[in-house]
Structure 1
Amino acid sequence: MKNAIFIILFLVSLKSLGQNQFEVFFDFNKDFPNEKSILEFNEWFAQNKNLEVTKMMGYCDSVDTKNYNIKLAERRINSVQLLLQKSGVKVNDNLERIAYGKDFKQSKIQAENRKVTIFYNEIKSQKPVVSPLTEKILNSKVGETVALPNIYFFNNSARIVPKSEPTLLELLCILEENPKLKIEIQGHICCQKVFDVNDVSLSRARAIYTYLLRNKIDRKRMTFKGYGTSRPVHPIPEKSAQEEDENRRVEVMILEK
């Protein structure tokens, strides 16, 4: 059985020769890339925007059962694929996905085994890939606001949910590539008829500000404010969960370009 696995891996390696590769790493038993890998992904994407991902291979360390690790490897591939799509990376329609779990030649350093390997080809194109959020921000005039899609927080707190990372990365990338851009980060909440009892909207705007500051965006380029329920998209009380979601948001206002 081990020999068969080795032969399969060897054939896969031969097939992959000539392709570019990038590795994304995960913490123990996690299916979303760790913070260090997220930052490295951001730098990689900033330098390699004209590319197409053709294959992804997911791996786990030697802990737990074979079936559990294969499922975890599949979830890791799903997570990276979502990250690629949210960042505007082209993914081939016939993307090859292979989850190995722990059935591969393991490194003695367990952290090196918890990964997804991305295989990609460079695309020769004069037209750069621009995501919808990037396009909206770059096309907005001074004074206009743009809602940040897919920004989520834990209930009644300013703790950012990990699945918000793709949007945060994209905003970071936009600011890095447009050094004259200055923004106001605006927090909004839903449901409360009172303005904002616990200043949740301010705390959430500050959380985005802190993330960007921690990733070396100059504080002089950013401000943050909480508007509570003073600027709802829909009248309060909202009539549906969708209306609540649309009121509960974070926006950026263009201050200078």
Structure 2
Amino acid sequence: MKRLFLLLALYLSIFANAQEKFTVYFDFDIDEANDPSAMSLSEWISEHKDVEVQKIYGYADSIGNALYNIDLSERRAMYVFEKLKEGNIDVANVEEKGLGESEAFSIERAKDRKAVLYFRQKPIIIEKKPEPVVTELAKKITEAVKGDKIAIPRLHFFDNSDLVLPESRPVLYELLAIMKNNPNLRIDIQGHICCQKIETNQISQKRALAVYAFLKNNGIDRMRLSYQSFGSSKPVYPLPEKTEEEKVANRRVEIEIIEN
């Protein structure tokens, strides 16, 4: 399989780098394409928007002064250059020059009055997809088993409110993505408070309900969700808390894994 992939990559590389050419013809002593070639060039431009033009060389027949023919061939190359530019073909890195009589070998001199553009298909770039970012919360939930409880990190609310602080909304969307990526996951959302033994306004239940409503309103089947509150009956640290860190740890919303 590895050898087959290498052969395919080599084939694509050769194909992408194969140089092709297109020729534009001019009448005697004229630096604008004759009518048939002008039409062909216009059609070529419309059909080759995705190619990489590498160079444009202009030529002249052997009639007349060699120095004049250099100038004439340069003008022919420039004519093609400008037509490509007008047609929105990328010409930023094109090599453009006149080569005079250097290819004036044809029995039919009309075939020497030309400009040749060399092009290739743009290289095929096989991009490696970035590895998906696995967050700490996603890792904990993926590795959890039925009955495990996981505190939702960085989830904070306005004081004595069930309104989520703006800086905490990303973790809700993170939890939403986890639920969508794990269709068998069922959770119970559990609210807790800090600092008081008796809850007076059911704030822990309202906060658990806020998370439940956010997930349900964003497409998660309510059959995969439940919620409840415990007030301050299950603190991480005993009441009264000694530090602000202990208060934050107690004032939390957890999810319990019901099915994973």
Q: TM-score, normalised by structure 1?
A: 0.51
d(CA) in 2 for partners of 1:229, 1:159: 19
Aligned residue number for residue 215 of structure 1: 218
Q: CA RMSD in A?
A: 1.6
d(CA) in 1 for partners of 2:201, 2:143: 34
**Could you tell me which amino acid in structure 2 is paired with residue 250 of structure 1?**
V
**Could you tell me which amino acid in structure 2 is paired with residue 169 of structure 1?**
Y
Q: Deviations over 1:19-71 (max 9, x none)?
A: xxxxxxxxxxxxxxxxxxxxxxxxxxxxxxxxxxxxxxxxxxxxxxxxxxxxx
CA deviation after TM superposition for structure 1 residue 128, in Å? 3.1
1:147-226 paired onto structure 2 within 5 Å: 147-194=151-198, 196-226=199-229
CA deviation after TM superposition for structure 1 residue 160, in Å? 1.0
Identify which range, 165-174 or 126-135, moves more after superposition.
Answer: 126-135
1:16-165 paired onto structure 2 within 5 Å: 124=128, 127-165=131-169
Aligned residue number for residue 243 of structure 1: 246
Structure 1's unaligned 5+ residue stretches are 1-121
CA deviation after TM superposition for structure 1 residue 126, in Å? 7.7
Q: Deviations over 1:122-171 (max 9, x none)?
A: 97368532110000011001000111011111111111111111100100
Structure 1 counterpart SS, 2:150: strand
Q: Mark the structure with the bigger radius of gyration.
A: 2
Q: How many residue pairs are counted as aligned between the two chains?
A: 135
Structure 2 counterpart SS, 1:198: coil
**Could you tell me which amino acid in structure 1 is paired with residue 229 of structure 2?**
G
Q: Give 4+ residue runs of structure 1 displaced > 4 Å after superposition.
A: none
Q: TM-score, normalised by structure 2?
A: 0.50
d(CA) in 1 for partners of 2:147, 2:228: 15
**Could you tell me which amino acid in structure 1 is paired with residue 222 of structure 2?**
R
Identify which range, 123-132 or 182-191, moves more after superposition.
Answer: 123-132
Identity of aligned residues (%): 47
Q: Deviations over 1:179-203 (max 9, x none)?
A: 1100000100000022x22111000
**Could you tell me which amino acid in structure 2 is paired with residue 147 of structure 1?**
A
Is the contact between residue 151 and residue 255 of structure 2 (CA under 8 Å) also seen in structure 1?
Answer: yes
